[in-house]
């Protein structure tokens, strides 16, 4: 008998005032037992969270998640709260008072998810070179590691783009039709650091990489036009120049692969119909010229050299032009045979009608890709706060996947600097076209992680390549209607490749409180499971344990944020002294004493059993209104060899989930780098849950 499938629901609430992104994990047997009020112990498997803070510098903590006694766990990212903060939820079969999501888990897109990622621009590489070795490791882990966003895709500019410090190409010798002078060392990309950045990312992740050209060398363009800007049409009309440009793609791919960087695909041209662009590298093609170049030159040339191994995408521009180009190119059977799908950018309109039309007319054969997304001028006037930009990412992915049948989605720059005069939009950008990224580097060369990192991570961490989108999904305020409503509640769902897990991601932009949500899942075979997610009244308690040596004490404590302080150590065995930190309870009523008694007994019963760290002295102390947890000393024994750096993250969560029921969890994570006996620098990370439980206020 096959094991029952695990259903994992990632319900992401992103609101401007009180955002509640939520991830719940549970198993189908647990749902059945919960519906019959029999209770259920969680066994829904494990996953990891994204970093717990958005301050600089930052690390990507390893937090292994297991379901609470109710079979559910939540991760909250909010405008004024924490990022990927663990919370509890209650799952039962009660009626939802607010919103309803209905889906058929057997109704799946025929095309699997390819992945999510970002662009390896020269600007990103230049900034990456400025980081310390330790911060480089953190940066790679943040995007590509198992504790970070788990990127599986990447975009590489072919030749320079605006996010390059200067304009360059790899064959600037006029009329070199055989490309004899093509620089297969890729000096421009080497000098900026792009090659090294790619190698560092590929050392920890398997990536599907695709290239996008901004401009060919000047001598291929009409009237020898410079790489910046473009005539229309872009290329000289002599066939020799068009073929030389097609051959250039092959040379570029082969040169990268000589450097052990495999290329999965290319787009025909970045933003080919941006005719008015005079500020950065460009090459204009109207739909007819795109079709001709793909049909007669680029398609046959790539196919002759690589077969169908290297994918070719067309468009690579804003959504609203998708049908205008597709109705020309895809109606030409000779051109259409060479293309894998269409790339779209999120700038401007949502163009939902256009995406729906493409999915209906062409979606059975051709994929839609999100190939670029960022907030730049002039859209930064509308998405003018970090939180608005963060919410936009979830909305952007939902639009492309649900309406266009998307299969992949790639963000723009991985790493930008901060320019105060540009409201901290970043570069370098030789055209002064500054944008925002998930991660920036400040003037002190420290990493600054923005909220969009975490909201995008609610998708990238839980929707793995091979998953298929659920195509039958409705959302409404009460009972399901025809389709979910944009700008109120949006949703998408995925079934993993093994068909053992279901992911549901919900985006809310409502101003009113959303206290609960019904998720009704139709399973294969006609069975239904109804999950009632009760959000409750959440109050998060966070603390910081400051690390220090000797008998000295820190002068102050930060009681509002969860963070870590790094300490360079030279001892083989790490001795730590943890600061005394008060934990303030949410409740300040007559139930405080009961809460204190329960926390005290749970802590004393659990700590000796559930951690490998010896806490030599601890106690709980109750004041008039607050509960205080005091801990003094812990010896970390997992680290072997010469420890180079160490950090501790501490998080205590205390939530009222419903009426008089409460949830308590106490986690800490220690991580760092040490030198092995062979001299190799290795990383370590140890996570422990000291206490976790759901209880009634009346419990002793």
Q: What is the pLDDT of residues 660-689, one digit of tens each?
A: 554 555 555 555 555 555 666 655 555 554
Contact 606, 676 (CB under 8 A): no
Query: Phi and psi for 26 in degrees, rounded to 5?
Result: -160, 165
Can you tell me the mean pLDDT for 309-338? 98
Report pLDDT for 93.
56
The residues that bridge with 531 in the sheet, in sequence order, are 519
Contact 235, 221 (CB under 8 A): yes
Give the tokens for residue 163.
């996010």
Q: Is residue 572's pLDDT more than 80?
A: no
Contact 657, 669 (CB under 8 A): no
Highest mean pLDDT among 263-267, 383-387, 582-586: 263-267
Give the tokens for residue 268.
């025909």
Query: Phi and psi for 99 in degrees, rounded to 5?
Result: -125, 155
Per residue in 64-120, pLDDT tens?
233 333 344 556 666 665 676 655 555 555 555 566 788 887 889 999 999 999 999
Per residue in 424-466, pLDDT tens?
899 999 999 999 999 999 999 999 999 899 889 989 988 999 9
Report pLDDT for 442.
93
Q: Is residue 605's pLDDT more than 90?
A: no
244 closest CA partner among 310, 170, 332? 170
**Distance (Å, rounded) from C-alpha 346 to C-alpha 452?**
15
Domains of the chain plus CATH, in order, are 6-108+470-534 (no CATH), 115-460 (3.20.20.80), 547-696 (no CATH)
If you average pLDDT over every residue of the chain, what do you get?
71
534 closest CA partner among 103, 88, 102, 101? 88
602 closest CA partner among 589, 621, 620? 620
Contact 7, 470 (CB under 8 A): no
Give the tokens for residue 605.
């019963």
Can you tell me the mean pLDDT for 353-378? 94
Report pLDDT for 388.
83
Q: Is residue 23's pLDDT more than 60?
A: no
Give the tokens for residue 584.
């303030």
pTM for this model (two decimals)? 0.71
DSSP-assigned states of every residue in 530-582: EEEEE--B----B----EE-TT---S----S-----------SSEEEEEPP--
Beta strand 574-578 with 208-213 is: unpaired
Q: Is residue 326's pLDDT more than 70?
A: yes
**Distance (Å, rounded) from C-alpha 678 to C-alpha 641?**
10
**Distance (Å, rounded) from C-alpha 84 to C-alpha 52?**
6
Per residue in 173-227, pLDDT tens?
999 999 999 999 999 999 999 999 999 999 999 999 999 999 999 999 999 999 9
Q: Which position has the higher pLDDT, 44 or 294?
A: 294
Report pLDDT for 363.
96
**Distance (Å, rounded) from C-alpha 303 to C-alpha 262?**
16
Query: Phi and psi for 688 in degrees, rounded to 5?
Result: -135, 140
**Distance (Å, rounded) from C-alpha 142 to C-alpha 427?**
20
Can you tell me the mean pLDDT for 21-39? 21
Enter the DSSP assignment of 81.
S
385 closest CA partner among 15, 123, 11, 86? 15
Q: Which position has the higher pLDDT, 579 or 520?
A: 520
Report pLDDT for 684.
53
**Distance (Å, rounded) from C-alpha 408 to C-alpha 404?**
11
pLDDT band, very low/low/confident/very high, at 163 (cuts 50, 70, 90)? very high
Contact 460, 207 (CB under 8 A): no
**Distance (Å, rounded) from C-alpha 459 to C-alpha 406?**
14
The residues that bridge with 682 in the sheet, in sequence order, are 674
Report pLDDT for 501.
75
Here the contacts of 619-626 (C-beta below 8 Å, separation 24 or greater) are 620/596, 622/592, 622/593, 622/596, 625/588, 625/592, 626/582, 626/584, 626/585, 626/588, 626/592
**Distance (Å, rounded) from C-alpha 557 to C-alpha 545?**
8
Dihedral over Cα of 376, 378, 379, 383: its sign: positive
Q: Is 455 helix (H, G, I), strand (E, B) or coil?
A: helix
Contact 652, 541 (CB under 8 A): yes
DSSP-assigned states of every residue in 583-612: ---S--STTHHHHHHHHHHHHHHHHHHH-S
214 closest CA partner among 177, 163, 255? 163
Report pLDDT for 80.
62
pLDDT band, very low/low/confident/very high, at 390 (cuts 50, 70, 90)? confident
Can you tell me the mean pLDDT for 616-643? 33
Per residue in 239-258, pLDDT tens?
999 999 999 999 999 999 99
**Distance (Å, rounded) from C-alpha 620 to C-alpha 320?**
61
């Amino acid at each position: 008998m096959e094991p029952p499938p695990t259903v994992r629901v990632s319900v992401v609430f992103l609101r401007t005032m009180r955002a509640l992104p939520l991830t719940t994990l549970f198993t189908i047997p647990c749902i059945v037992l919960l519906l019959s009020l029999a209770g259920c112990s969680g066994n829904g498997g494990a996953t990891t969270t994204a970093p717990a803070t958005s301050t600089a510098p930052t690390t990507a903590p390893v937090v292994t998640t297991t379901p609470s006694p109710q079979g559910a766990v939540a991760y909250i990212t909010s405008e004024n709260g924490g990022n990927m903060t663990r919370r509890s939820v209650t799952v039962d079969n009660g009626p939802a008072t607010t919103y309803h999501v209905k889906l058929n888990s057997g109704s799946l897109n025929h095309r699997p998810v390819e992945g999510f990622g970002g662009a390896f621009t020269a600007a990103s590489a230049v900034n990456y070179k400025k980081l310390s070795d330790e911060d480089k490791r953190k940066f790679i882990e943040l995007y590509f590691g198992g504790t970070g966003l788990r990127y599986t895709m990447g975009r590489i500019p072919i030749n320079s783009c605006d996010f390059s410090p200067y304009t360059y190409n790899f064959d600037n010798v006029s009329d070199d039709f055989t490309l004899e002078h093509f620089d297969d060392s890729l000096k421009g990309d080497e000098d900026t650091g792009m090659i090294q950045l790619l190698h560092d990312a590929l050392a920890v992740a398997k990536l599907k990489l695709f290239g996008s050209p901004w401009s060919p060398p000047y001598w291929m363009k009409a009237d020898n036009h410079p790489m910046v800007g473009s005539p229309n049409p872009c290329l000289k009309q002599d066939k020799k120049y068009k073929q030389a440009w097609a051959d250039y793609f092959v040379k570029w791919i082969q040169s990268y692969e000589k450097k052990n960087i495999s290329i999965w695909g290319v787009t025909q041209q970045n933003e080919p119909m941006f005719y008015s662009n005079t500020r950065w590298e460009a090459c204009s093609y109207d739909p007819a010229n795109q079709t001709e170049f793909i049909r007669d030159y680029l398609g046959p040339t790539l196919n002759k050299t690589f077969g169908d191994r290297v994918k070719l995408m067309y468009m690579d521009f804003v959504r609203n032009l998708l049908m205008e180009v597709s109705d020309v190119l895809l109606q030409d059977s000779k051109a259409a045979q060479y293309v894998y799908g269409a790339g779209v950018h999120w700038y401007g309109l949502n163009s939902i009608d256009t995406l729906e039309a493409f999915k209906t007319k062409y979606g059975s054969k051709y994929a839609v890709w999100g190939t670029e997304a960022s907030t730049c001028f002039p859209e930064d006037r509308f998405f003018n706060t970090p939180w608005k930009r963060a919410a936009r990412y979830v909305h952007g992915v939902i639009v492309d996947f649900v309406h266009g049948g998307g299969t992949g989605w790639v963000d723009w720059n991985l790493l930008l600097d901060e320019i105060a005069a540009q409201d901290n939009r970043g570069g370098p950008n030789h055209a002064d076209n500054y944008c925002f990224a998930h991660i920036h580097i400040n003037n002190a060369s420290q990493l600054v992680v923005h909220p969009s990192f975490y909201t995008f991570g609610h998708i990238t961490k839980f929707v793995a390549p091979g998953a298929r989108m659920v195509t039958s999904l409705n959302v409404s305020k009460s009972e399901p209607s025809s389709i979910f409503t944009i700008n109120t509640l949006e949703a998408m769902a995925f079934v993993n490749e093994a068909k053992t897990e279901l992911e549901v991601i919900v985006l809310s932009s409502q101003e009113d409180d959303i206290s609960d949500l019904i998720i009704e899942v139709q399973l294969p075979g006609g069975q239904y499971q109804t999950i009632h997610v009760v959000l409750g009244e959440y109050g998060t308690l966070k603390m910081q344990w400051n690390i220090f040596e000797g008998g000295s004490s820190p002068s102050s404590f930060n009681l509002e944020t969860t963070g870590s302080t790094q300490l360079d150590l030279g001892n083989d065995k790490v001795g730590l002294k943890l600061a005394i930190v008060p934990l303030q309870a949410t409740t300040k009523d007559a139930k405080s004493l009961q809460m204190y008694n329960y926390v005290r007994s749970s802590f004393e019963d659990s700590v000796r059993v559930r951690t490998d760290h010896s806490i030599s002295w601890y106690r709980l102390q109750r004041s008039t209104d607050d509960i205080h947890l005091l801990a003094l000393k812990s010896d970390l024994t997992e680290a072997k060899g010469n420890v180079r750096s160490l950090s501790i993250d501490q998080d205590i969560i205390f939530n009222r989930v419903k009426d008089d029921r409460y949830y308590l969890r106490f986690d800490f994570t220690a991580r760092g780098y040490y030198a092995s006996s062979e001299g190799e620098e290795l990383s370590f990370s140890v996570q422990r849950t000291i206490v976790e439980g759901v209880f009634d206020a009346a419990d002793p």
